[in-house]
Structure 1
């Protein structure tokens, strides 16, 4: 395969970055920002340049690690997966489309200073011409781009140097009249002025000595352009009377008229037209490649990646981008275009910062020649300040960012997810961290131990089932030398006195305590028995657990009938309100189980289920098998991470764990003696109505474990586990 020649030196890199930035940011936006922040617009340009630094450093790092990839979308999609890749791709596409529209809508007024023509028809005509140019495949040459940069810098340099002597310090009065809110709003508005700073990353494969020239080119051009912007805006504000150019469509030409006369105006007009048409053309060219790239990755329909046999260009992608551009020019006010362009760029730069963290913390091969200093605080600063800027940019920018994000997520769910089986390194990094946290929780749960367990017997269930429950409870507390308290709870009508009934019960049935306590020698732990009479069994169980410092409640349950599912069940209430762990047993007998199955739904196993399964297997010199769904649609990376988690889990426990048995609807490979699984947020509806993790009918006793209320993972963590697993 023929490779691209690395022949772009540092001067070329600087020219590409500077040329990609200078355009609407200096010829259009100062007047719009001046209307928002007053003279503080000077500081807004400086602040925006500083806030771009984290993204510039992050993009430099990723460009040296993946010099052949190119493109913001590629970095974010590879780093953070198809979901955020979709958001970034769509967001960048819209950002570049808005930037192109801004260049045309803002550039045409400079042209109209020479020609008396209507603004929007001319802008639409130029847009149509540029779309046609892109369709037939004409491209800017490198020399033309360098020539445009030279003309722009010469004109702007003449404007700044020639106008500086005319600066009036009185024009800077009331510098912060619009407050910090106005400053931040203006900063967000002009943020798009620096959007082209990382464009050189898209040609990283052609840069010689990329580990040196890419970071120097990006950061050097950013520093140069920031100083240039601040200097020109400072002169522009200083030579014009307060408020005279705020909202002007041609602010630089208006200011040049004051100090340089007609010659200066002509020079500024020439530079502005060249810069803005160049920016618009580059915007169409680059933005149309985002649907094209997304289509090739399966994130957009295949038609968007089709290339014309006649012209060799992605006609469908360019046509779609052109249609969006024409709609923006025709119907969206220039201020809203500027706000939306900046809002989408802020979003994308924020994702770039997060993507670096994903690559660094992930498990993918990532070896950048240049690394961002002050990691990860630089990236955190960039992401947080980006969010702050968005909140200060007004309703239009916020709604635009929200609509694009929500729309991208909906598109991902409806179109991408059924077709793409790929994930970013961030997902795997988070998954591994969640797995490590789960193992820490298992170790903590083991230290807590179960020293006293209550076997709650709400009714007469037969001697064999009583013995099975007590034997199971004994095995759970055995590692901690604990004891079993078996209590028969009798519920009586509200009208009946508790004391009299208790006396009757005690005198008519004295065999319960004798029978239960006789199990002490059989099960090998201390077993006590008691009886409680109450008007409400579920409250009595919880109250007994609170009053006797019980660590776990073990009770028998039966599959819920439809009425119980709809209206709730007493034992459901106990599981949600108990001050301790609750073990609900589908009691089919208990006879020295050697093969204990730990069943899950593909996420890390609940710490309490692990400790219960481990205690039972240890007490019976047995082993544990892991059951989890057959993730036929999971990635190889996902499988590897889960295998590593299960290996670490095996090392945490003192009992052997057999290789994980994958279960499907078709059944299992080896029938177990006991199955342990986690409850669904303390609600039996999940465990018994199909909302919880499905497992095949094991044909043995099943224990569903509900951790105490204050030990249940918060909703955010459960959602995160569900997302990454």
Structure 2
């Protein structure tokens, strides 16, 4: 039996899957913005400018944005033509077969499952800062895990609690979750608008000299780091089975959210390095700190509120993406079918939501999680490579497949997407690659010991 067996492509995106179809193009665009704008703009921008690219951080965002654009066009084509809530997992299944689909699905579980509790820990710090400003700060024992950090505690209570609250929100239904996401997106966009307005009147052009202090390698290194800031637009494609008119709305949601966020990143990073020397930006909250230096305490407070809202929506969308990829893999038999059930009343996969929520809350509350942006990035880049390759393969294998949206200049743009993502992957350190291969090795053991023989395709072929 071939390891590269494929399943038939189901392009009927309007079929009933048990999930509720209620998301519009605007909902999907806000979902993408909710996932993309978060830690990247409020944290990583300063770190990348100070340690990697300097004022040329704007070029790092351009490089990452271009790489993501090629991938986004490929995602848009496959989301409109292949569909399914499995995102890159489902596209790899159709283009490359079961083995590669498992690898990408396993990568996506890493991306969403590790990034979500990591963002939760960052959210915890901002949330406690807000409580401290109100005189209600939590003791250190409720902000740190029992081991692995300089300060020991009992549990990171805010980090664990926010994930449990989001699990309840996602279990209630996607419509409620989408409304909550929209409100939080408005809050963080308002905070970013305030920063841009103030920064325009405090620019010192001397801060932009030298513009490229670390050379071209610094720009590429910065691009590899801030790539984390773009993670999220791919999660929009996991909403295929909950979208009205998905063949039209999915491409709009994916491309519109990426375009809007890329412009915001370039503008904010340019202004940030224009009002403060790049060497001073390596802080946990560079945007708020810069405003404090300008004496704009009220604006810094609003930025903190925007950061809390931004990180909340990032967690929500990544958490959502994790559950939908897990659902797709369970439906195909690659993971235990007990998780393939959709609750008839809420029309959500409650079992997956609650189990993954408990696991991630445990990780966020009791384990010391340091910055894992690079590890998450490499898994995402690998998924982007296969999505771009999937467009090329399916154009060859299924030339007559109905494609409501087509990636332009194919196969040129998909090939450029592959090259760009591979170049960024090569900019990551060796230890990141080693961790990535260890995760893949664990996945291969699971695949050959369970998934391969329990998949629906294996049962059908048997």
Output one character per residue of 1:473-502: Cα deviation in whole Å (capped at 9) or x when no partner. xxxxxxxxxxxxxxxxxxxxxxxxxxxxxx
Aligned with residue 323 of structure 1, among 354, 359, 368: 359
CA gap of 1:157–1:134, structure 2 versus 1, over 3 A, is closer
- What does 1:456-605 align with in structure 2 at a 5 Å threshold? none
CA distance in 2: counterparts of 1:167 and 1:329, whole angstroms: 41
In the alignment, does 2:132 pair up with 1:132? no
Answer yes or no: is the 8 Å Cα contact 1:94–1:341 preserved in 2. yes
Aligned with residue 27 of structure 2, among 1, 6, 12: 12
Give, in angstroms, the shift of residue 402 of structure 1: 1.9
Output one character per residue of 1:278-333: Cα deviation in whole Å (capped at 9) or x when no partner. 22233233313333331221112334446789997543664356435643675555
CA distance in 1: counterparts of 2:353 and 2:240, whole angstroms: 24
Give, in angstroms, the shift of residue 206 of structure 1: 5.4
Deviation beyond 6 Å, 4+ runs, structure 1: 3-7, 307-312
SS of residue paired to 2:423: helix
CA distance in 1: counterparts of 2:456 and 2:337, whole angstroms: 17
CA gap of 1:159–1:322, structure 2 versus 1, over 3 A, is same
CA gap of 1:200–1:135, structure 2 versus 1, over 3 A, is closer
Equivalent position of 1:113 in the other structure: 129
- What does 1:659-698 align with in structure 2 at a 5 Å threshold? none
Equivalent position of 2:423 in the other structure: 388
CA gap of 1:309–1:11, structure 2 versus 1, over 3 A, is closer
TM-score normalised by structure 2 residue count: 0.82
CA gap of 1:291–1:249, structure 2 versus 1, over 3 A, is same
Output the aligned Cα RMSD.
3.1
Answer yes or no: is the 8 Å Cα contact 1:162–1:259 preserved in 2. no
CA distance in 2: counterparts of 1:416 and 1:159, whole angstroms: 50
CA gap of 1:254–1:209, structure 2 versus 1, over 3 A, is same
Give, in angstroms, the shift of residue 387 of structure 1: 1.7
Aligned with residue 76 of structure 2, among 50, 53, 60: 60
CA distance in 1: counterparts of 2:368 and 2:419, whole angstroms: 29
Equivalent position of 2:235 in the other structure: 199
In the alignment, does 2:196 pair up with 1:160? yes
Give, in angstroms, the shift of residue 272 of structure 1: 0.8
In the alignment, does 2:99 pair up with 1:83? yes
Equivalent position of 2:4 in the other structure: none
CA gap of 1:414–1:389, structure 2 versus 1, over 3 A, is same
CA gap of 1:309–1:10, structure 2 versus 1, over 3 A, is closer
CA gap of 1:282–1:237, structure 2 versus 1, over 3 A, is same
CA gap of 1:355–1:147, structure 2 versus 1, over 3 A, is same
Aligned with residue 99 of structure 1, among 115, 119, 126: 115
In the alignment, does 2:53 pair up with 1:37? yes
CA distance in 2: counterparts of 1:182 and 1:54, whole angstroms: 22
List runs of 5+ in structure 2 lacking aligned partners. 1-14, 146-152
CA distance in 2: counterparts of 1:291 and 1:9, whole angstroms: 23
Output one character per residue of 1:624-679: Cα deviation in whole Å (capped at 9) or x when no partner. xxxxxxxxx9959xxxxxxxxxxxxxxxxxxxxxxxxxxxxxxxxxxxxxxxxxxx
CA distance in 1: counterparts of 2:246 and 2:453, whole angstroms: 38
Equivalent position of 1:295 in the other structure: 330
Equivalent position of 2:214 in the other structure: 178
Answer yes or no: is the 8 Å Cα contact 1:17–1:197 preserved in 2. yes
CA gap of 1:330–1:340, structure 2 versus 1, over 3 A, is farther
Higher share of residues assigned helix: 2
Answer yes or no: is the 8 Å Cα contact 2:86–2:324 preserved in 1. no
CA distance in 1: counterparts of 2:452 and 2:179, whole angstroms: 43
In the alignment, does 2:303 pair up with 1:268? yes
List runs of 5+ in structure 1 lacking aligned partners. 424-632, 637-725
Answer yes or no: is the 8 Å Cα contact 1:77–1:84 preserved in 2. yes
Higher share of residues assigned strand: 1
Q: Which protein has greater RCO, CA pairs closer than 8 Å, 6+ apart?
A: 2
Number of corresponding residues: 425
Output one character per residue of 1:523-560: Cα deviation in whole Å (capped at 9) or x when no partner. xxxxxxxxxxxxxxxxxxxxxxxxxxxxxxxxxxxxxx
Output one character per residue of 1:503-536: Cα deviation in whole Å (capped at 9) or x when no partner. xxxxxxxxxxxxxxxxxxxxxxxxxxxxxxxxxx
In the alignment, does 2:379 pair up with 1:339? no
Output one character per residue of 1:52-93: Cα deviation in whole Å (capped at 9) or x when no partner. 011111111112113455523222223221111111111111
Give, in angstroms, the shift of residue 15 of structure 1: 2.0
CA distance in 1: counterparts of 2:209 and 2:407, whole angstroms: 39
